[in-house]
Structure 1
Amino acid sequence: MSRRASEREDRAGGPEGAPSAASQRIWLPLNALRAFEAVARERSFTAAAASLHVSQSALSRHVGRLEELIGRRLLERRPSGVALTPAGAALLPVLTGSFDRIEQTIRGLRQEGAGPRLLRVHMPPTFLTVFGVDLLKAFRAAFPGVLIDVSSSNGVGLPASRALDVAVVFDKPRVDDRVRDLLWTVSCTPACSPEVAAAAAGRSLDDFLQQAELLHVKLENEPFGVFWADYARQRGLSVDERRGLAFDTEALAVQWAMAGGGVVLIDDGTWQREVDAGRLVTVGPTVDTAYGYYLTLHPDDLHDPAIALFRSFLINRFAGGGPRPPLPPTAPAP
Structure 2
Amino acid sequence: MRAFEAVGKQLSFTGGAAALSVSQSAMSRHVAALEDLLGQRLFDRDAGRLALTPAGQELLAVVSKSLERIEQTMNAIRDDSVPSRAMRLHVPPTLLHQLFIPMLAEFHRDHPEVRIDVSSAHTTGLPEADLDMAIVYDRPNVDDRVTDLLWMVRVVPLCSPAVGALAGSMAMAPFLADHELLHVKLQGQPRDLLWGDYLRRHGIAIPSHDGLAFDTSIAAARYATTSGGVMLGDVDMFAAEIAAGQLVAPYDAVIEDGYGYYLKLHPDDLSDPAIAVFRSWLIGRFANFREQV
Mark yes or no: TM-score above 0.5. yes
- Change in CA separation of 1:92 and 1:202 when aligned onto 2, cut-off 3 Å: same
Partners of 2:43 and 2:85 lie apart in 1 by: 41
| Structure 1 residues without counterparts, runs of 5 or longer | 1-25, 39-48, 78-83, 328-334
Q: Is the 8 A contact 1:75 1:88 kept in 2?
A: no
Could you say which residue in structure 1 is the equivalent of 2:165?
Answer: 198
Q: Which amino acid aligns with 1:150?
A: V
CA RMSD of aligned residues (A): 3.4
How much identity, in percent, do the aligned residues show? 39
Could you say which residue in structure 1 is the equivalent of 2:136?
Answer: 169
Q: Which runs of 4+ in 1 moved over 4 A?
A: 28-32, 69-77, 87-91
| Comparing 196-205 and 287-296, the one that deviates more | 196-205
Determine whether 1:241 maps to 2:229.
no
- Structure with higher Rg: it is 1
1:292 is matched with which residue: 252, 260, 263? 260
Partners of 2:209 and 2:45 lie apart in 1 by: 36
- Change in CA separation of 1:98 and 1:200 when aligned onto 2, cut-off 3 Å: farther
Could you say which residue in structure 2 is the equivalent of 1:106?
Answer: 71
Q: For 1:179-328, list aligned pairs within 5 A.
A: 179-284=146-251, 285-319=253-287, 323-324=289-290
Q: Secondary structure at the match of 2:86?
A: strand
Partners of 2:93 and 2:70 lie apart in 1 by: 28
What per-residue deviation string (whole Å, max 9, x for no partner) do you get for residues 140-190 of structure 1? 111111122111111111110x22121111111111111111000011100
Could you say which residue in structure 2 is the equivalent of 1:41?
Answer: none
Deviation at residue 266 of structure 1 after TM alignment: 1.1
Q: Secondary structure at the match of 2:107?
A: helix
Partners of 1:194 and 1:214 lie apart in 2 by: 16
- Change in CA separation of 1:213 and 1:220 when aligned onto 2, cut-off 3 Å: same
- Change in CA separation of 1:34 and 1:96 when aligned onto 2, cut-off 3 Å: same
Partners of 2:54 and 2:179 lie apart in 1 by: 44
Partners of 1:143 and 1:326 lie apart in 2 by: 23
Q: Secondary structure at the match of 1:275?
A: helix
Partners of 1:250 and 1:104 lie apart in 2 by: 36
Partners of 1:226 and 1:239 lie apart in 2 by: 14
Q: TM-score scaled by structure 1?
A: 0.70
Deviation at residue 134 of structure 1 after TM alignment: 0.9
Could you say which residue in structure 2 is the equivalent of 1:11?
Answer: none
Deviation at residue 202 of structure 1 after TM alignment: 3.2
Deviation at residue 75 of structure 1 after TM alignment: 10
| Structure 2 residues without counterparts, runs of 5 or longer | none
Q: TM-score scaled by structure 2?
A: 0.79
Q: For 1:39-188, list aligned pairs within 5 A.
A: 88=53, 92-112=57-77, 113=80, 114-160=82-128, 162-188=129-155
- Change in CA separation of 1:253 and 1:158 when aligned onto 2, cut-off 3 Å: same
